[in-house]
Structure 1
């Protein structure tokens, strides 16, 4: 009887294995040696598909962002509604794989999924009348907000110790209950921030979308 053949090494298998490692152990778990061991192949075999480890991580990041919806920017939706719908879709994709977020935060690079998002957002904002500079700022601000919201949980940062808060932090007398309501707290915080961000953009737009808002510099510290 013939021996069963090893599964064919493909880009998809490499990416799926790398994503599994990232999800389970973080970015530091991904190395060509570890991937080769997980896949049951020799290290050089990986280089037939990817030149470097960063190329593998790029493919993982691109896979994570692939499901993010951008059709709302081209289907006639008002730009504020499109931003909200896109932000929710983007956050859902990142929350499913939070350990990849620090890598995504480096920027889109050559990753098609992220470039597709950047192109869709920028195009929609400039068509709405925002200047090119403002459209760039809006896309960046939304990405910062979404990535930050997916990176961790505010609610899980509080320990279940009522005595700690009652003794030293009286305004946090219910903080020990936050962790058990983690999803409600984090989702509510995201929606509150998203509404504030988009409402702020709507207010700026009403003043004139092509206007560049001046930023008042911080005052110099006074001497002794």
Structure 2
């Protein structure tokens, strides 16, 4: 049999190609027409696999959520579980920063995202955190991760030292930051994460005592 004249489509291929376009052109740069061209098909062919662009974006978000490691929440060490989740989550999002704004508003009805949220919340509650605290910890961790993934502080500086002469004497070395951006971004995230987790350890002890003594 000869090769098919129209490329064979699959939902996974559609999602992967959509993410490639978003990585390159941003969320606003994705259209069903552009996606069809990239896949070598007519736009109408896509709609037998995905009903709308919004549905497609949620499907891509599910794929990314599946890559995040929440396995630690099945164990007893909630601090280690949070650390693993946060680092894994940041790594996934940092690989696709253009997609982060779509993920910033919560899991919606996305199956994989809800499973992730359920694992985190359940693990924290089993570790003794009251449900309200478990919810806030999950949200706070996400704020930290999303903020770290969506932009680079160090890359925001100019590498021309003349920009900082005279007017900004305390930034006299800022022109060097860009060349160390990956290292600074990683270490800054680790500093924020470790400080956050250390504070939670103290809070957990206080909340656990209070909860144990409550009627």
TM-score by length of 1: 0.89
Alpha-carbon distance in structure 2 between the residues aligned to 1:210 and 1:110 = 36
SS in structure 2 at match of 1:168: coil
SS in structure 2 at match of 1:9: coil
Is 1:83 matched up with 2:82?
A: yes
> What does residue 220 of structure 1 align with?
none
SS in structure 1 at match of 2:129: coil
Deviation at 1:3, TM superposition (A): 5.5
Task: Sort the Cα spacing of 1:188 and 1:3 in 2 relative to 1 into closer, same or farther, 3 A.
Answer: closer
Alpha-carbon distance in structure 2 between the residues aligned to 1:4 and 1:50 = 22
Task: Sort the Cα spacing of 1:211 and 1:155 in 2 relative to 1 into closer, same or farther, 3 A.
Answer: farther
User: Where does structure 1 differ by over 6 angstroms across 4 or more consecutive aligned residues?
Assistant: none
Alpha-carbon distance in structure 1 between the residues aligned to 2:20 and 2:87 = 23
Is 1:141 matched up with 2:103?
A: no
More helix by share: 2
Alpha-carbon distance in structure 1 between the residues aligned to 2:48 and 2:3 = 25
> What does residue 35 of structure 2 align with?
35
User: What do you get for the CA RMSD once the two structures are aligned?
Assistant: 1.7
Matches within 5 A, 1:24-173: 24-76=24-76, 78-173=77-172
Aligned length: 211
Deviation at 1:211, TM superposition (A): 5.6
Asked whether the equivalents of residues 131 and 210 of structure 1 are also in contact (C-alpha less than 8 Å), the reply is no
Asked whether the equivalents of residues 164 and 172 of structure 2 are also in contact (C-alpha less than 8 Å), the reply is yes
Asked whether the equivalents of residues 65 and 94 of structure 1 are also in contact (C-alpha less than 8 Å), the reply is no
Deviation at 1:113, TM superposition (A): 2.2
Q: Deviations over 1:84-140 (max 9, x none)?
A: 111001111111111110001121112222112101110011111111111111101
Alpha-carbon distance in structure 2 between the residues aligned to 1:111 and 1:33 = 24
Alpha-carbon distance in structure 2 between the residues aligned to 1:135 and 1:84 = 15
Asked whether the equivalents of residues 64 and 97 of structure 1 are also in contact (C-alpha less than 8 Å), the reply is no
